[in-house]
Amino acid sequence: MPPPDRFAPLAVLAARPGAGRIAPLLADARRCARLTLTLDDLSLDLTRTAIDEAALDALLGLATTAGLDDFRARLFAGAPVNVTERRAAMHMALRAPDGTVLPAWHRNGPEDAAALAAAERARMRDFVVRVHAGELRGATGLPFTRVVNLGIGGSDLGPRVVTEALTMARADAPLAASFVANMDATALAAALAGCDPARTLFLIASKSFTTEETAANAAAARAWIAAALGESAVGAHFVALSTNLPAVAAFGIPPERVFGFRDWVGGRYSLWSPVGLVIALAAGWPAFQALLDGAWAMDCHFRDAPFAANLPVMLALAGIWHINAEHRPTRSVLAYDERLRRLPAHLQQVEMESNGKRVGLDGAPVAWPTQPVIFGEPGTSAQHSFMQLVHQGPAVIPVDFILAAEADHDRPAAHRALAAHAIAQASALAHGRSAAAARASLAARGTPPAEIDRLAPHLVCPGDRPSAFILFRRLDAFSLGRLIALYEHKVAVQGWLWGIDSFDQWGVELGKELAGGLEPALSPGGAVAGIPDPAAASLIARFRALRGEA
């Protein structure tokens, strides 16, 4: 017999007549106060959802009966909450202040995760300071002016979004930064175009040092340095963010240029670890430390605040309402800040890799929907692409709006216009435009009656489309760390409520395993063993024919 659907009571509430209406709820000042949560200057506004008092009470009740408080305690106690891999998920230790004690389960017992993280962080800080001071230089004695991060997945997406956000508008960034994730050789060629080998430092971000894409790019980068500066220059121009010391040594990187981290740090949660070294090199150590401090502030809030005042918990519960009560399988993230243009991509991994699961902690299929599909672009660019669908398409797509109140440029009028668009979009989604309003708008333009009849249906926007609005004072390293940690903890809450493991990612392995077997068949005269089916064989044959290798 399948397990009972723990979300069925929510679905009953969502099915009440008029329960999906949002606009009428916005006049309730008491509800507005209850659904607007704050942490210092950061606010989370959930008023533009269909969550009324009954739904909110039910959601908070679900969190309590599902044992979320116990899960939260075990998470911060370093218990092996990553059930399938028997690991802790203690990325919070990476941003804990020096002197903090945070245990984490590692192999056969607990260890002081915060102390280990602090020790490696001190080594990172020393390295960054010495590079910026010109004490650590390239093989020819020239100081480094560019850092190139070679990594994929969590070793690219998080560090990339943070580095871009903190350096895009800065003319005084200590080092220019480039990122190479794709094993397509074009990506590395583009990153190296115009680079001076004598002034370029490479970071190889791969815990295992065997990730195929990263290994291929690292080998090509090594050859580029060796060709320009000689084989003996390799050790001066590469840093490894890895735990595979023998492989790193074989590559030619000395031990003092190797920075590691434990298996209680998942890839998509690793930007706070040595994987974030590129952030510190490009933005400076004070910015990296502020990033950690912001994340730690959110960690403490998530750990200590009651559910009804807890930003990650409430953001998670709003998502549960949209997914499991209203059955919305998609969500959009709109950051009204060009510096956060890569944030949706990072959240795609943090959320979809974490919670894109179909079986529960016990290995049995779950009886309810889990992670929605996430997509996004910076506002206002999104308004000129997919927001047509969000406003008028048949599917209802919840939206997360993200906005800083203050800009870091000297065009305040431009920022006010940007903010006006963000707030207007949230309001337009909630209120929509009725047929009567559409007709009145056309009439005010002097449109003839026959044209009003023809055009009015096309101007109608249904409204009652939900959104969350995240607002903070300004985008800096501290607020960015706090924002990313907000989403990390929201993911953990939803995973627990869905009864899945948010900290493994077995689904990414299958395609990689198949690729390894297919690669020989793509080479001239290569073996054809391991091809899974005639369709794949036909595709390989066409590929080889187009290359003249049939």
Q: Verify that 209 and 258 share a domain, yes or no.
A: yes
Q: Do residues 390 and 398 touch, judged by C-beta distance below 8 A?
A: no
Domain end: 257, 289, 321, which one? Answer: 289
Query: Looking at the domain assignment, is residue 453 inside a domain?
Result: no
**Cα–Cα distance measured from residue 500 to residue 77, given in angstroms and rounded to the nearest whole number:** 19
- Take residue 322 and report the two structure tokens written for it: 């949209």
Provide the domain count of the chain: 3
| 290-349 pLDDT per residue, tens | 999 999 999 999 999 999 999 999 999 999 999 999 999 999 999 999 999 999 999 999
Query: Looking at the domain assignment, is residue 500 inside a domain?
Result: yes
Q: Verify that 54 and 202 share a domain, yes or no.
A: no
Domain end: 264, 289, 314, which one? Answer: 289
Q: In 249-408, where do the E strands start and end?
A: 258-259, 330-335, 373-378, 399-406
Query: Looking at the domain assignment, is residue 450 inside a domain?
Result: no
Q: Verify that 216 and 323 share a domain, yes or no.
A: no
Q: Verify that 311 and 424 share a domain, yes or no.
A: yes
Which of 494, 498, 472 lies closest to 314 in space, CA to CA? 494
Confidence tier at 1 by pLDDT (50, 70, 90): very low
Burial of 292 (0-12, 13-18, 19+ CB in 10 A): buried
- pLDDT at residue 242 is higher than 90: yes
- pLDDT at residue 540 is higher than 60: yes
- Take residue 312 and report the two structure tokens written for it: 């990650």
| 175-188 pLDDT per residue, tens | 999 999 999 999 99
pLDDT > 90: what percent of the chain?
Answer: 88
Half-sphere exposure of 9 (CA within 13 A, CB side): 11
The domain in which residue 378 lies consists of 8-26+41-76+305-431+465-504
Q: Verify that 101 and 214 share a domain, yes or no.
A: yes
Angle at 313 between CA 311 and CA 317, to 5 degrees: 115
Domain end: 241, 256, 289, which one? Answer: 289
Q: Verify that 485 and 347 share a domain, yes or no.
A: yes
Q: Verify that 177 and 252 share a domain, yes or no.
A: yes
Q: Verify that 270 and 323 share a domain, yes or no.
A: no
Q: Verify that 245 and 319 share a domain, yes or no.
A: no
Alpha-carbon distances of 321 from 370, 440, 465, rounded to whole Å: 12, 35, 13
Confidence tier at 528 by pLDDT (50, 70, 90): low
pLDDT at 529: 64
Q: Which residues, 6 or more positions from 416, have their beta carbon under 8 angstroms from its beta carbon?
A: none
Q: Verify that 153 and 102 share a domain, yes or no.
A: yes
For residue 523, count other CB atoms closer than 10 A to its CB. 10
- CATH number of the domain encompassing residue 199: 3.40.50.10490
Residues identified as active-site: 353, 384, 512
Q: Verify that 536 and 481 share a domain, yes or no.
A: no
Query: Looking at the domain assignment, is residue 298 inside a domain?
Result: no
Query: Looking at the domain assignment, is residue 83 inside a domain?
Result: no
- pLDDT at residue 3 is higher than 60: no
Confidence tier at 210 by pLDDT (50, 70, 90): confident
Q: Verify that 364 and 272 share a domain, yes or no.
A: no
Query: Looking at the domain assignment, is residue 12 inside a domain?
Result: yes
pLDDT at 248: 95
Query: Looking at the domain assignment, is residue 84 inside a domain?
Result: no
**Cα–Cα distance measured from residue 488 to residue 415, given in angstroms and rounded to the nearest whole number:** 28
**Cα–Cα distance measured from residue 148 to residue 299, given in angstroms and rounded to the nearest whole number:** 30
pLDDT at 344: 97
In single-letter form, the type of residue at position 356 comes to: G
For residues 14-19, average pLDDT: 96
Query: Looking at the domain assignment, is residue 112 inside a domain?
Result: yes
For residues 148-154, average pLDDT: 97
Q: Which residues, 6 or more positions from 280, have their beta carbon under 8 angstroms from its beta carbon?
A: 124, 125, 128, 287, 288
Alpha-carbon distances of 516 from 108, 161, 296, rounded to whole Å: 33, 30, 40
| 47-101 pLDDT per residue, tens | 999 999 999 999 999 999 999 999 999 999 999 999 999 999 999 999 999 999 9
Instruction: Record the pTM.
Output: 0.96
